[in-house]
Structure 1
Amino acid sequence: MWPAVMEDVPMSEDVHRMTEVWRRLDALGATITPVPPQRVRQLIDELTSLVGPMPDDYLEVLERYGGDIELDDDDVEFVAAMPSAWAVGGADGIERMHGLTSSYGRSVFEAVAAYEGRIPPGWLPIGDAAGGNQLCLRTARGARGREVDDIGAIGFWDHEAERAVDAGGRARGLTPVATSFRAFVDLLRVAGRDGMGAPEPRD
């Protein structure tokens, strides 16, 4: 876990970026669930063994928050690179992100088990989106264990389109959201606000 950063110590770019990720999630209501460090390490190792390597920024969020990453406001949304069929006014909603542990039976491990065989290989369910859909993270292990070149990308999985395929036989249930987990967190906002700032003016 990242150490506390003192005001008189220059932050590296990576530490600064992760601090900004945590600040945004905290502002949206995310709270830390205490999990012993050894248990956190064990769970992360188990998850890596299960789904393959994952980006550091995502792993650091799992490590910091431990359990369910709940967002207090019911109106947290994001505008994806390609809004889903569920988008309202161009924005999709998010309810919570799965943690290493869960009070609701919705840990990342339980999500993997629940959607096995439904979400395409190489995509890890990381959060509940509006409409019973999932936000997914691209891992390093694609179909049949093949390496992929878009590790860390975030996609929106539409459960109603999970069985549809395109002309090339590829799953059509996933639409692009962001190129990385950090970029995805940057998109999160409370509906009616421009980013994390003041409410947007109305016509």
Structure 2
Amino acid sequence: MQYSRPALLMLDYQVALCDPEANRAPALAAQVAERAVVPVAQAVLAAARDAELLIIHVRLAFDDTYLLRTNRLARFDSYPENRAMLRGSAEAAIIAQLAPEQGEPVLDKSCVDPFIGSPLLSVLHAEGIGEIIIGGVATNLVVESTARHASDSGLQVTIVEDMCASFSPAAHDFAMANILPMFGSVFSSAEVIGRLSEHAERGAA
């Protein structure tokens, strides 16, 4: 793993996508549970906090007009009528296990890619960030879009494989084996936590 000042991006760990009882994305929520994504993400998040990384939480959340959404594909057409993923709603909230702490910004996005229509890239540059460490759901949506955009913008990208899940094991595995390695480096949470622990120790020295 290359070493530069990194930031951790927590991507779309939301009630609607991770909680089986929310019933918006049951196949995705089932994979999140089966792969134990939440406890893995908790461990990485704790290590990033210990290492004093910049941590940004990203979520899909629409304003009450839904006019600011940049993605106008048909699969989003029902969202305004159903008031789906409305900012401030329970389903759009980040799950309690991964809730932001004070000082950790939450970025709302209106499409898959968190860089589109947001200040994310400018903030990372302003903070001197040369690398992002990412995990989230779904693997072949927000994780892949983030990796593509970040790498094309000159950032190094580390993807934490077991922090991610998709709607099926096949979709996740294909993205991890064939797509994401073209845009970043794929590592396990244990490898990334080990690196962050070293970073924390150096910072304390």
TM exceeding 0.5: no
Which structure would you say has the larger RCO, counting Cα contacts within 8 Å and 6 or more residues apart? 2
Query: Which one has a bigger Cα radius of gyration?
Result: 1
Question: Structure 2-normalised TM-score?
Answer: 0.31
Question: Structure 1-normalised TM-score?
Answer: 0.31
Larger helix percent: 2
